A and B are shown apart, each in its own frame.
Chain A
């Protein structure tokens, strides 16, 4: 603890109390009669006007810290040790009135789900105005100030928005309102807990930009909490890395991510594909083992059981916080060697032979459309999709919510019947519109790994039942052949035989997803749809699943349709990319072409919206809301938000066809590709 102050004590000298000082914080939850430490001995300080990031995976305790700061822990939680100080005030010792004053003036908070943070039965204007009323303004004045404030968070037509109810706002708009509410009282400390996690990439980029602009304008310190390292890198001056309730590393954000000095940070960064890393560059690394079970702290370093550098002393006594550079600390005995952390996963990846040229289509989709009708409204989820899947390739499917990615996957699987007129061919034979109209071999050929294994695995069945089902039902195996194939499959997803008797809830998220993958491969499929297969998982688990998918593809020669909102993952795994917007294909092409450009203006916007760890980003600003699929814009569906819209008006009136601009690279844009290349080179 003595070394602690040396690390981040640069504010102590100035005399005035820092905006935030957390010292030796322990938070305990009482669960089923026993105490569990969720936050252990956490200390950090935030300086005036500083943006401090807390980053960690699920179970790291990052949200618990925020709740403790606002003194809003759930009834079973309490601060069991340590002190908090916000400008010298300690919220833990306050009486009711002081606590109310503290919450109204000193600290504000924005959190993940903006839709749920707003009261559904009170108008937006009244809710924001309340903050001013607490501060003593009359209702009329409060409403006037609210109008100004909503303008400040870039809400167009504030007066109209104020009369609305929260459900009438889009996610991005709702989050602006929540942010407005949080900054209304000009708090000294603004806590942001995963403020953009629930938003689409382009909306996230807008909200982050707004926050950066507000910060520059206001005299506020930020505590920014996220699981997303790149968002933290973009938004924060300094960062603290939390693991299992402990702050394992701290320092200037850029320095920590460029040159991590704790094995956990090192491992975490190796799990994320960076700087255009692709599967043929080698595997991602992963972190072995699991989080310690809640309430069971090892006697030594909390990370030691999963650390490949760990020595005897690491397991015996917790390491002190060591100063590793200016303003940097690492809670590790071996911080000097952290960068030399051995890999958990060997780099070499047995890639199969590359797809056998462009002319071996396994699935051909032509003119596929899907219209849903709900409450008398017709929603065009997919419009005229034509696409080819080559044998053994991975086609990445990207797009924001409402783009039709999942609908396309479900139509391919036969779970949703497409509109008449569209056609799906599998190996030269037409696939029926529904499962009932498909033969057993066709069923066998197309399988899926769903996003959320909790939903995809029947929680009443054992792992054995779950994995055996496709073997008996689709592959027609029984007896010794079944047992042999089952053992084989379990090995190939790197699980153990003893886990066969368990039920899903007894498995961790990563293991559950392995079961789902084994089930998808059980029948010997030709095509496996991977629908956001890692988005429900933590970063350290995600890498292992991606490696597994790549290995299985090499071994089984399957084709993947890989759906993800995470462009880094798509780039890592895919051979080709298809970009969807409002149910239409905007661009299809080889991965490096699509990422490298020239690309469709929408792709360009999507790519530049993604925060990157190295912080380099040339942002194309998208304006306006994503239009409703029930009422798509005329002409090119993207024209309402397109930064490169042509002045001639053709974008509004005519729909550009999907044409082959370069070999294998198709675009749906009125601007010729060489023009696009010039525009995008200029940025």
Chain B
């Protein structure tokens, strides 16, 4: 088990390093001259050169990458061009806000998706299944900003029962914060309900059709016991991994939702960094998202390995 953990961790770190090279390539190499990009086409050549020097981008590429990545490891993510202050604290504060939104979304999505998937599987081919599958599919593929606008039009603008922005203001109570987060969560729920329901449905159907379920039914067990003890135990395992991979996409969804609802999270920070060509902020943010994703999948992998007796016993050998 320990060797597996180490191997899995090592792979995650290698992947993260690879990602950092990719990000560095996209952020430092492709755009050409950062100072020119910041100062615009009419700045003097000497001003550009001096800013380049100040930013350190006139050094050899490898040196730049090394100082960037070693800084990142120590929590020094560089200076934002846009805010003229270190990136790390800004990003940290935004991450906390995003985490609140994401956590609220996940708390709604996971039970809803899993229950939806199981209900669809138990009624396979019937209207309930069709309804859940088609709604899930359609909701999942409509971009978040479209769903977001529809709910704003209806609930904030039309019925005026919920605030159209997500930021509850400083010092707001938990309940108020929650109230402000309801509308932004809706597009995220729409987006991910379908994925989770779909995977749960597929794996539950597989378990329902399996020989071991037949064995359980023919033992004369109650349907409740067959489903709870024999079916779900096997069908929910794959769902864990899917939920983890979806957390990555969830952050992608945050960019749009936070922009639309004007919420001070990582997504909006990145969006602003992109429009302002604030590369240190953009790179650090993307790397951070990668790290969050890696951690989520790593945890999910460990959890599903631990829950799966086959993998668990193979590893403990």
Touching chains A and B, CB distance < 8 Å: yes
Enumerate chain A interface residues (CB-CB to B < 8 A): 70, 72, 75, 96, 100-105, 107-109, 111, 113, 116-123, 127, 130-131, 134, 165, 167-168, 178, 181, 185
Binds A, one of B166-174, B179-187, B211-219, B283-291: B211-219
Q: How far is the CA of A101 from the CA of B221 in the complex (A)?
A: 9
B219 touches A168 (CB 8 A): no
| Nearest CB of B to A38, in Å | 18
Q: How far is the CA of A26 from the CA of B220 in the complex (A)?
A: 25
A104 touches B212 (CB 8 A): no
Contact A134-B215, Cβ < 8 Å, known A119-B230, A122-B230: no
Q: How far is the CA of A127 from the CA of B211 in the complex (A)?
A: 14
Besides A103-B219, A165-B310, A181-B219, 4 other A-B contacts (C-beta < 8 A): A108-B218, A117-B215, A119-B233, A185-B220
Instruction: Output the nearest chain B residue to A109 by Cβ-Cβ distance.
Output: B218
Instruction: Output the nearest chain A residue to B214 by Cβ-Cβ distance.
Output: A72
B214 touches A104 (CB 8 A): no
Interface residue ranges of B195-249 to A (CB < 8 Å): 210-212, 214-223, 229-230, 233-234, 237
- Top 5 closest A-B pairs, CB basis? A104-B220, A116-B211, A103-B220, A119-B212, A165-B309
B219 touches A131 (CB 8 A): yes
Task: Please tell me if B141 contacts chain A, counting CB pairs below 8 Å.
Answer: no
A107, A117, A167: the one within 8 Å of B310 (CB): A167
Contact code string B113-154 (vs A, CB < 8 Å = 1, else 0): 000000000000100000000000000000000000000000
Point out the residues of chain A lying under 8 angstroms from B50, CB to CB. Answer: none
A101 touches B220 (CB 8 A): yes
Instruction: Output the nearest chain B residue to A130 by Cβ-Cβ distance.
Output: B219
A100 touches B211 (CB 8 A): no
Point out the residues of chain B lying under 8 angstroms from A118, CB to CB. Answer: 212, 215
Instruction: Output the nearest chain A residue to B209 by Cβ-Cβ distance.
Output: A74
Point out the residues of chain A lying under 8 angstroms from B63, CB to CB. Answer: none
Task: Please tell me if B308 contacts chain A, counting CB pairs below 8 Å.
Answer: yes
Contact A134-B219, Cβ < 8 Å, known A117-B212, A120-B309, A165-B309: yes
- Interface size class of chain B, counting residues whose CB lies under 8 Å from the partner chain: 20 to 34
9 pairs from A and B in contact (CB 8 Å cutoff): A105-B220, A118-B215, A119-B212, A119-B233, A120-B309, A121-B308, A123-B309, A134-B219, A181-B215
Q: How far is the CA of A360 from the CA of B210 in the complex (A)?
A: 54
Task: Please tell me if B313 contacts chain A, counting CB pairs below 8 Å.
Answer: yes
Point out the residues of chain A lying under 8 angstroms from B233, CB to CB. Answer: 119, 121-122
A119 touches B309 (CB 8 A): no
Max chain A Cβ within 10 angstroms of own Cβ: one of B214, B216, B220, B222: B220
Contact code string B285-317 (vs A, CB < 8 Å = 1, else 0): 000000000000000000000011110010000
Instruction: Output the nearest chain A residue to B207 by Cβ-Cβ distance.
Output: A119
Q: How far is the CA of A181 from the CA of B216 in the complex (A)?
A: 10
Q: How far is the CA of A134 from the CA of B220 in the complex (A)?
A: 7
Contact A117-B211, Cβ < 8 Å, known A104-B220, A130-B221, A134-B221: yes
| Nearest CB of B to A124, in Å | 11
Main secondary structure of the interface of B (DSSP, over half): helix
B214 touches A168 (CB 8 A): no
Point out the residues of chain A lying under 8 angstroms from B307, CB to CB. Answer: 121
| Nearest CB of B to A487, in Å | 46
Point out the residues of chain A lying under 8 angstroms from B230, CB to CB. Answer: 119, 122
Q: How far is the CA of A111 from the CA of B192 in the complex (A)?
A: 40
Q: How far is the CA of A103 from the CA of B215 in the complex (A)?
A: 10
Contact A103-B218, Cβ < 8 Å, known A111-B211, A116-B211, A117-B211: yes
A72, A104, A121: the one within 8 Å of B234 (CB): A121
| Nearest CB of B to A335, in Å | 37
B212 touches A120 (CB 8 A): yes
Enumerate chain B interface residues (CB-CB to A < 8 A): 125, 210-212, 214-223, 229-230, 233-234, 237, 307-310, 313
Contact A100-B212, Cβ < 8 Å, known A121-B233, A165-B309: no
B217 touches A103 (CB 8 A): yes
Instruction: Output the nearest chain B residue to A74 by Cβ-Cβ distance.
Output: B209
Q: How far is the CA of A72 from the CA of B218 in the complex (A)?
A: 8
B219 touches A116 (CB 8 A): no
Q: How far is the CA of A168 from the CA of B310 in the complex (A)?
A: 8
B220 touches A100 (CB 8 A): yes
Point out the residues of chain B lying under 8 angstroms from A121, CB to CB. Answer: 233-234, 237, 307-310
Point out the residues of chain B lying under 8 angstroms from A130, CB to CB. Answer: 216, 219, 221
Point out the residues of chain B lying under 8 angstroms from A108, CB to CB. Answer: 218
Max chain B Cβ within 10 angstroms of own Cβ: one of A96, A130, A131, A168: A130
Instruction: Output the nearest chain B residue to A111 by Cβ-Cβ distance.
Output: B211
Q: How far is the CA of A134 from the CA of B215 in the complex (A)?
A: 13
B219 touches A104 (CB 8 A): yes
Max chain B Cβ within 10 angstroms of own Cβ: one of A101, A113, A120: A120
Point out the residues of chain A lying under 8 angstroms from B210, CB to CB. Answer: 116
Point out the residues of chain B lying under 8 angstroms from A127, CB to CB. Answer: 215
| Nearest CB of A to B204, in Å | 14
Q: How far is the CA of A635 from the CA of B296 in the complex (A)?
A: 51
Q: How far is the CA of A72 from the CA of B208 in the complex (A)?
A: 12
Point out the residues of chain B lying under 8 angstroms from A101, CB to CB. Answer: 220
Point out the residues of chain B lying under 8 angstroms from A120, CB to CB. Answer: 212, 234, 309-310
Q: How far is the CA of A130 from the CA of B210 in the complex (A)?
A: 18
| Nearest CB of B to A198, in Å | 12
A72 touches B217 (CB 8 A): yes
Contact A119-B216, Cβ < 8 Å, known A111-B211, A165-B309, A165-B310: yes
Point out the residues of chain A lying under 8 angstroms from B219, CB to CB. Answer: 103-104, 130-131, 134, 181
Q: How far is the CA of A104 from the CA of B223 in the complex (A)?
A: 13
| Nearest CB of A to B174, in Å | 38
A168 touches B217 (CB 8 A): no
Instruction: Output the nearest chain B residue to A67 by Cβ-Cβ distance.
Output: B214
| Nearest CB of A to B7, in Å | 12
Point out the residues of chain B lying under 8 angstroms from A122, CB to CB. Answer: 229-230, 233
Q: How far is the CA of A122 from the CA of B221 in the complex (A)?
A: 15
Q: How far is the CA of A108 from the CA of B215 in the complex (A)?
A: 9
Contact A116-B212, Cβ < 8 Å, known A101-B220, A131-B219: yes
Q: How far is the CA of A109 from the CA of B220 in the complex (A)?
A: 12
Point out the residues of chain B lying under 8 angstroms from A117, CB to CB. Answer: 211-212, 214-215
Point out the residues of chain B lying under 8 angstroms from A185, CB to CB. Answer: 220
Instruction: Output the nearest chain B residue to A112 by Cβ-Cβ distance.
Output: B211
| Nearest CB of B to A367, in Å | 33
Point out the residues of chain B lying under 8 angstroms from A111, CB to CB. Answer: 211
A119 touches B220 (CB 8 A): no
Q: How far is the CA of A104 from the CA of B218 in the complex (A)?
A: 7
Q: How far is the CA of A109 from the CA of B234 in the complex (A)?
A: 22
Point out the residues of chain A lying under 8 angstroms from B234, CB to CB. Answer: 119-121
Q: How far is the CA of A70 from the CA of B217 in the complex (A)?
A: 10
Q: How far is the CA of A387 from the CA of B210 in the complex (A)?
A: 44
| Nearest CB of B to A268, in Å | 28
Instruction: Output the nearest chain B residue to A97 by Cβ-Cβ distance.
Output: B222
Q: How far is the CA of A210 from the CA of B237 in the complex (A)?
A: 36
Q: How far is the CA of A134 from the CA of B234 in the complex (A)?
A: 21
| Nearest CB of A to B119, in Å | 17
Point out the residues of chain A lying under 8 angstroms from B223, CB to CB. Answer: 96
Point out the residues of chain B lying under 8 angstroms from A105, CB to CB. Answer: 220
Point out the residues of chain B lying under 8 angstroms from A113, CB to CB. Answer: 211
Contact A168-B218, Cβ < 8 Å, known A117-B212, A118-B212, A119-B233: no
Q: How far is the CA of A96 from the CA of B212 in the complex (A)?
A: 20
| Nearest CB of A to B268, in Å | 43
B229, B237, B313: the one within 8 Å of A165 (CB): B313
| Nearest CB of A to B289, in Å | 33
Instruction: Output the nearest chain B residue to A105 by Cβ-Cβ distance.
Output: B220
Instruction: Output the nearest chain B residue to A184 by Cβ-Cβ distance.
Output: B219
Q: How far is the CA of A107 from the CA of B125 in the complex (A)?
A: 30
| Nearest CB of B to A78, in Å | 15
